[in-house]
Amino acid sequence: MTKINSTDIRKPEWLKTKINTGSNYREVKKMVQNKKLNTVCEEALCPNIYECWERRSATLMILGDVCTRSCGFCNVITGKPIWDDPEEPYRTAQAVKQMGLKHCVITSVNRDELIDGGAKIWSETIKQIQKFNPDCSVEVLIPDMKNDNKSLNIIFKSNPRILGHNMETISRLYSIVRPQAKYDWSLNVLRKSKKFGLKTKTAFMLGLGETSEEVFDLINDIYETGCDILAIGQYLQPTKKHLPVKRYVHPDEFKIYKNYGLKIGLSWVESGPLVRSSYRADEQARMSIS
């Protein structure tokens, strides 16, 4: 394989995004504020927020905005959550309805202090969206729930159209990137989701110090779970307190991983510097769900 020079840590041209604060963007922003909703678009400083919100596409985040874990890549606040809002599932469903979505993506912080990890709120949120938005397919991006079968099954039984859980990085870097998670836990979430019969999705980042061989190994492990959809993107450092970017990966290298994933049998692979797990999820859903 041709060696690609990706060692320059200055942000390259291909990572620049266009700021577009048109009418749709402003309307979505106002709606999120008025309904007191959290979005991963804002919390995670997603570079695609302008494009997605202008397309009236947003990833809503439930169970509050404080996470019980301290992942080295994530900009979401870490601490002791005080969130307690039983009306959130209903409000989320109403926001989806007001946005007129045909496909919605819901995610959440980790709530390890809760007995079920927040699974019941997850289930109720999915059901409320399905109730008030019968023509809208629901995609969820869930935490690992500590690989707890009871919690996972509560979510599985609510029957989301796509069940997402992100691997985030290679096995060797888990203790640094995701110190409170386990590589095998995440693989097991994907396996269990497929065994339950759900369309399954995952994502990971490049630029944290992985080798190309380790990336291929990760793609192989993902494929062996039966996962359907894979998204691969560039890690961007949210603040100086977070893990540094080891390298900016050239778009040509992303193409190599995409082609490899498709070659070994993954149904759908999105791979590029600005790709995120929910980026253009509505288009993925239309193209990949029969």
- Taking only the tens place, the pLDDT of each residue in 209-236 is 999 999 999 999 999 999 999 999 999 8
How far is residue 162's CA from residue 200's CA, in Å, rounded to a whole number? 6
Residue with token string 């840590």: 9
Q: Is the pLDDT of residue 190 over 50?
A: yes
The residue with greater pLDDT, 248 or 16, is 248
How far is residue 132's CA from residue 47's CA, in Å, rounded to a whole number? 30
> Average of pLDDT values for 56-76?
85
Q: Report pLDDT for 3.
A: 42
- Grade residue 162 by pLDDT with cuts at 50, 70 and 90: very high
> 189: helix, coil or strand?
helix
Q: Which domains does the chain have, with CATH numbers?
A: 14-288 (3.20.20.70)
